[in-house]
Amino acid sequence: MNYSTYSYPADVTLITEIEKAINGECSAITCYEQLAKHAPSEEARGFTELP
């Protein structure tokens, strides 16, 4: 008897979607770092959150 409640294809799909989301966040952080390097002032580089 199989007591597993997990569906392998669904698990793979979920993992793939989470991986895409994490990679997207990393790309966004990298982009923000590059933008901050080109900011005209230290004040502009030091933001912690957007208005």
Q: Determine, yes or no, domain membership for 28.
A: yes
Task: For residue 23, give its domain range.
Answer: 9-35
Model pLDDT, residue 4: 59
Model pLDDT, residue 47: 61
Total number of domains in the chain: 1
Q: Determine, yes or no, domain membership for 48.
A: no
What b/e string do you get for 6-36 counting C-beta neighbours within 10 Å, with b at 16 or more? Answer: eeeeeeeeeeeeeeeeeeeeeeeeeeeeeee
Q: Determine, yes or no, domain membership for 3.
A: no
pLDDT tens column, 2-50: 555 655 677 888 899 999 999 999 999 999 888 888 888 877 777 655 5
Model pLDDT, residue 8: 67
pTM above 0.85, yes or no: no
Residue with tokens 């993992």: 15
Tokens representing 22 are 């994490």
Tokens representing 26 are 């990393």
Q: Determine, yes or no, domain membership for 45.
A: no
Q: Determine, yes or no, domain membership for 31.
A: yes
Contact between residue 19 and residue 11 where contact means Cβ atoms under 8 Å apart: no
